[in-house]
Structures are given as C-alpha cells and as structure tokens.
A and B are shown apart, each in its own frame.
Chain A
Amino acid sequence: MPRPMQPTTHLRPGFGRKAWISLGLVLVALHLLPWVIPNVLHVMIMIFLFAIMGQGWNVLGGYAGQFSFGHSVFFGLGAYVSSLLFVNLGWSPWFGMLFSCAAGIVLGLFIGFVSFRYGLKGPFFALIMLAFAEIFHMIAMEWKAVGGALGILIPLEGNSPALMQFMDKEPFYFITLWMMVGSLYLVWKMEGTRMGLYFLATREDHDASEALGVDTFKVQMVAMGISAGMTSMGGTIYAQYLLYIDPDSTFGLANSVEIMLRPIIGGPGTILGPLLGSVVLTPLSEITRLAFQSYSGVHLMIYGLILVVVIMFLPDGIIGLVRNVFYKMLKRVG
C-alpha cells in the first residue's frame, strides 16, 4: 500500500500583495540575469527547459498519480514534428511548436485511451509508457523519411527570430523563462479548479473517487493531454536550441529519466517541485562533471548517489525539506 503523499498546501488563500511583489522582484532579477552573469545562460536554459517538461510530467505523475517512465516519447515527438515541418515544408518552428503540442496531445490521448480504459496504473502504466518510447525510438532509427539514425540537421539560417534561430543565447533564455512561468501559472490555475481537485482525488483513491461520481477516466485523460502537450513543446525548443536531433538524444531512455527526476526530486504534486528539482539537479550535474572530469565515471557515480540519498531521506522531495526548515523558522520567530 503506497503511502499517500502529503496534502498539497494551497497557496491561493494567502497570496497577498507582499507575495506578488517578491514574485515580481524575482522575475525582474531573472530578466536582468543575462547581463549580470552571462556565462550561466546555457545552464539556466536547461534548468527552465527541464522544469517545463518536468512540470508536464508532474501534471500526470504528481497530480493525477499516473507516473510515466516514457515521457521521452512526447519530448521526441515534439522535437521531430516541428523539425520535419521546417525542413520539409519550411514552416516556422513557432508554428511548428503548436503542431508539436497538438501531436503530443493526440499521442497522449491515444496512449491514455488504451491504458486508462483498461485501468492500467502503477508500474504497469510506467512500463507501457516505456514500451511506447522504445517503439518510437525504433521507428525513428529505421524510417529514412524522418532522418533515420542520422537524425535531422536543421539548416542554420543565421539570426532569424521568425524561424526561432538566434545567434545569441538570450532569446532562448527568455523563451524558456516565459514558458516556464506560463507552465507554473497554468498548473497554479489548474490546482484551484474543480478538475485540479479531481486530479488529487483520483490520485489519492481511485476507487473511492469513482464511487463519489468522479469520472476518473476523463480526469486522467485531461491530465495526460496537458502533460503530453507541455512536454512536446519542450521538445521543439530543444530541437531549435541544438539545431540537430537524432533518435537517441530525443526518444532515448535517458531523457525519460531526466524529465521525471526533476519533479520527483523537487517534490511531486507541487507547483514549484519541478522547478526546484531542476534548479538543483541541472547545475549539480554540470558542477560534478567539471569537478571530477579527470576521473571518468565519478561524476555520474555521485549523481546516482545523490539521487539515492535524496529519495531515502527526503521522500517528499526537496520542497518538503524547504517547507520543514521554513516552518521551523516560523516557529522560532513565533
């Protein structure tokens, strides 16, 4: 019997002026960052990108309680759809991103339809997602029309904002920053709606909510759609940022892991969990890679070790720790 997760603290009631001001200040600070410390832009872009996709995972895995072990299937689909539309038809990736999102939603609903119809959950659902990701990986490897194993090289068009190509990093920083903020806002809004409550109800007790008249199938389908769409959009950004995709770096198992790590480490089923997880994990892997580069493999060992430690000692993610420390501080202050 899995232990139910901590009930989510609702932020809505206490969201007053001070909070808005400090939130605004953080946002302003983030907007000034490229001019203050330009060297960290790549890390920041990766933090935001994985926070967006982690948020996608979080909607399904954290809120609706269906954890997926194959979200790379949406990531890869998003990357391929916009890239193929651009390379073959010359459609701008801005436009392509909408198609990626739509394609992700369609695929998500399809997988959701076949899985939730048969009441798949727990490890069974995790594994069916893995199977879909593996099948898409195989098809992308073999199918010449989508580049096969060679992948897709997106032609450099110089600085061309209309085609989502930039000579500098700042535009990607702002794109990912705003998409990340948008995803936070979306989930925050969602948490307050009736549907958001249905998500939690379904997660905590599937059968009881069904008995109380919640259409759990529909609830899970909605979660799947949002989740898939968000992750697919992340795929498009990734493709445009690298201007090169291949099956391994998109549909690969490693990406599924990277995407799910963020919300789980940060705090699943919380608004800030994925972002927090990304803020900790992304720089962590960069720093350990640099610090231990002369010892092959050691930085991944440490990464693995930290995962184990966090899961064993912080079962609710880092956000749980932050909360505890915070409440202790509050108590001391009185």
Chain B
Amino acid sequence: MTMSFVFQSLLNGLLVGGVYSLMAMGLTLIFGVMKVVNFAHGSLIMLGMYVAYWSVALLHVDPYVSILIVFPVLFIIGASFQKFLINPIINAPEHNQLLLTLGVSLFMENLAVFLWSPDYRVMKTSYAEINFYIGDITISLVRLLAFCFAMLLAAILYVVLTRTDLGKAIRAASEEPRGALLMGINIRRIYLISFGIGAACAGVGGAAITPFFPVYPYVGWLFVITCFVVVVLGGMGNILGAFVGGLIIGLADSVGAMFLPGSMKSIISFTIFILILLFKPTGLFGKNHA
C-alpha cells in the first residue's frame, strides 16, 4: 500500500464525506425540529439530482448555476410535503410517521420511473474532464466543487441557525416546542421552513454530485442509509454533529475499503453506528442524557 494510494483514498473519502455532511444536516434538522425520521430523504436527493440534470440538459444552464434552481424547487417540495402530509400526523406514533415517509418515497421514486423511465442518465459537462494532479494523487474538479458547495451551504446554514432570528426560532422550536409556542413563535411556520431547508439540503447535495454521478430513480438509496449513520453519529438533531459526522463517515468508508473486501467496507461505519447508539445515543458531541 503506497502513500499516494492512502492519501488518494482519504482525500476522496473526505470530499464525498462533505456531501454526506450536507445531506445529513438536512436530515438531522428535520429530525431535530419535528422528531420525524424522514425516509423520503433519499427521494429528495434524487429529485435534486433530476432537477439539476434537466436544468443542464434542457435549459443549458451551468451545472453549478443549476444549484440555484434546485434550492428553491426542493424547498417548495419539502415545505408542501410537510404541510400536507407530515403536519396532519405530527402527533401520530413514530412508526406511522416513518411509514408515511416510506410511502412517499415509494411514490416519488416510481413517479420518477414513470416520468423519466428507469434509465441511467449522465450529465454532460466539460468540468468532469478537469483534474488536478499532485504527484500521483488526483484531485477531480467536480468532486472538489461538490465538496466546496456542500461546505458553503453548510456554513450558511450554520450561520443562519446561530445568528439570525429565524435560526433562533428554529432552535427554540427544536429544543422546547411548548416554550417556543408560549414565546409567540409560530411553530407551524417553523416546521414548514425547517422541512423546506432540510429538503433543499438534500437536493443541493444531490445536485452537487450530479456532474460525476449517474442519475436514476433509485439513486437516493445509495445515500440515505449513510445519512442515517451520519445523523446518529453526530447526535440526532445536532447540526454541527452531522457536519463532522459526514466527514468522519466519508473517511471511515475509505479506510474500510482499503482493508476490507467488497461490500464489507460499510461494516466499519455500521459498527460505529451501533456502538454510538448503545453507548452514546446523544451522539459524539451530545451531552449524556440524565
């Protein structure tokens, strides 16, 4: 095992981990605020990828400009999802909410099959051919850009959550919904916005990888389980935790692939997942619960 091989894997693990971070931040935001385990997150990622793909293919916009289209579209989809489907059952047992999101994801994926056929589609962009080389190590421009966009959005999200009134309201609603309600915060509006932002994070994460990742209706499942691992690792509802967790899981997968055969590579992240659930269910950075 040469040094360049190790660095190369770690680098790519880190770059893809950044994308996991963004997707998982969306998921953890939704969980933190609404306590809803959203299995439709993969479908939202898929929709983000399709929106980016069609923007490039039909409107001929730049792949990275398409992110500006993906964000509002997915925000609206997420917000309507929340308003019409999640909100009516917000007090139902958890397994009902989980099944509802599964039903929605089944619907969205197969709607994609129906509308766009199950074809694999590859976005055509000249960016994909540009690579930088340091010695024997490749830095692919599209992977780097996906990472940068994910980091950028993650940073914006973090600033919004910590520095703005909206962010404070969201955090208040997440930590103490009744208190927040008493303080005059419009909880329903906060739920709507949080779900919209969560969906948009998923969509932008998807759009950011579309330049180097084939798009097809079931593509979301490649990410959604990993997102759950990341969310649990960072502590469910913990935005910063999801951010760091994504990078850790990205690296862990690379290390797993270096030492383990085939599909066994994810065993490292799943083992971390189980251990965290057992010993520190509040996540790496969570306080131990009383």
Binding site for B on A (CB under 8 A): 1-3, 5, 61, 67, 69, 114-115, 118, 120, 122-124, 126-128, 130-132, 134-135, 138-139, 141-142, 257, 260-261, 264, 268, 295-301, 303-308, 311-312, 315
Q: Which residues of A contact B210 (CB under 8 A)?
A: none
Supply 5 further A-B pairs (C-beta < 8 A) apart from A127-B277, A134-B225, A315-B92: A124-B232, A131-B274, A142-B261, A296-B114, A297-B110
Question: Which residue of B92, B107, B118 is within 8 Å of A301 (Cβ)?
Answer: B107
Least CB separation from B107: chain A residue: A304
Q: Is B106 an interface residue (CB 8 A)?
A: yes
Q: Are A311 and B277 in contact (CB under 8 A)?
A: no
CA–CA, A122 to B98, complex, Å? 11
Q: Which residues of A contact B111 (CB under 8 A)?
A: 297, 301
Which size class do B's interface residues fall under? 35 or more
Q: Which residues of A contact B103 (CB under 8 A)?
A: 304-308, 311
Q: Are B105 and A311 in contact (CB under 8 A)?
A: no
Q: How far is the CB of B101 from chain A (nearest CB, A)?
A: 9
Please choose the segment from B127-135, B200-208, B262-270 that sits at the chain A interface, where 4 or more of its residues have CB less than 8 A away: B262-270
Q: Is B75 an interface residue (CB 8 A)?
A: no
Question: Which residue of A2, A257, A296, A299 is within 8 Å of B91 (Cβ)?
Answer: A2
Q: Is B85 an interface residue (CB 8 A)?
A: yes
Q: Is B162 an interface residue (CB 8 A)?
A: no
Q: How far is the CB of B271 from chain A (nearest CB, A)?
A: 8
Q: Which residues of A contact B107 (CB under 8 A)?
A: 301, 304-305, 308
Q: Known contacts A123-B37, A264-B96, A312-B88; is A307 also within 8 Å of B118 by CB?
A: no
Ranked nearest first, the 9 interchain pairs of A and B with the lowest CB-CB distance are: A297-B113, A307-B103, A304-B106, A304-B107, A297-B110, A300-B110, A301-B110, A308-B103, A67-B95
Q: How far is the CB of B254 from chain A (nearest CB, A)?
A: 17
Question: Which residue of A130, A264, A303 is within 8 Å of B95 (Cβ)?
Answer: A264
Q: Which residues of B contact A122 (CB under 8 A)?
A: 94
Q: Are B105 and A142 in contact (CB under 8 A)?
A: no
Q: Are B104 and A304 in contact (CB under 8 A)?
A: yes
CA–CA, A77 to B274, complex, Å? 19
Q: How far is the CB of B91 from chain A (nearest CB, A)?
A: 5
Q: Are A3 and B92 in contact (CB under 8 A)?
A: yes
Q: How far is the CB of B111 from chain A (nearest CB, A)?
A: 6
CA–CA, A299 to B114, complex, Å? 10
Q: Are B98 and A2 in contact (CB under 8 A)?
A: no
Q: Is B281 an interface residue (CB 8 A)?
A: yes
Question: Which residue of B95, B104, B112, B273 is within 8 Å of A126 (Cβ)?
Answer: B95
- Give the residues from 29 to 58 in chain B that come closer than 8 angstroms, CB to CB, to chain A: 31, 37
Q: How far is the CB of B98 from chain A (nearest CB, A)?
A: 7
20 contacts between A and B (CB under 8 A): A2-B94, A3-B92, A69-B98, A123-B98, A124-B236, A128-B273, A128-B277, A134-B225, A134-B270, A135-B267, A296-B117, A297-B111, A297-B118, A297-B217, A298-B110, A304-B105, A307-B99, A307-B103, A308-B85, A312-B88
Least CB separation from A122: chain B residue: B94
Q: Known contacts A118-B278, A131-B274; is A67 also within 8 Å of B94 by CB?
A: yes
Q: Which residues of A contact B262 (CB under 8 A)?
A: 141-142
Q: Are A315 and B118 in contact (CB under 8 A)?
A: no
Q: Which residues of B contact A307 (CB under 8 A)?
A: 99-100, 102-103, 106
Q: Known contacts A67-B94, A142-B264, A260-B95; is A311 also within 8 Å of B278 by CB?
A: no
Q: Known contacts A142-B263, A304-B110; is A120 also within 8 Å of B92 by CB?
A: no
Least CB separation from B117: chain A residue: A296
Q: Is B89 an interface residue (CB 8 A)?
A: yes
Candidate in B95, B103, B104, B279 with the most chain A CB atoms within 10 angstroms: B95
Q: Is B93 an interface residue (CB 8 A)?
A: yes
Q: Which residues of B contact A305 (CB under 8 A)?
A: 103, 107
CA–CA, A126 to B88, complex, Å? 23
CA–CA, A242 to B100, complex, Å? 31
Q: Is B223 an interface residue (CB 8 A)?
A: no
Least CB separation from A299: chain B residue: B110
Q: Are B100 and A311 in contact (CB under 8 A)?
A: yes
Q: Known contacts A118-B278, A304-B103, A307-B102; is A134 also within 8 Å of B91 by CB?
A: no
Q: Is B228 an interface residue (CB 8 A)?
A: yes
Question: Which residue of A2, A61, A127, A306 is within 8 Å of B228 (Cβ)?
Answer: A127
Q: Which residues of B contact A303 (CB under 8 A)?
A: 106
CA–CA, A257 to B109, complex, Å? 16
Q: Which residues of A contact B273 (CB under 8 A)?
A: 127-128, 131
Q: How far is the CB of B6 from chain A (nearest CB, A)?
A: 23
Q: Which residues of A contact B277 (CB under 8 A)?
A: 115, 120, 124, 127-128, 131
Q: Which residues of A contact B113 (CB under 8 A)?
A: 296-297, 300
Q: Are A311 and B91 in contact (CB under 8 A)?
A: no
Q: Are A301 and B106 in contact (CB under 8 A)?
A: yes
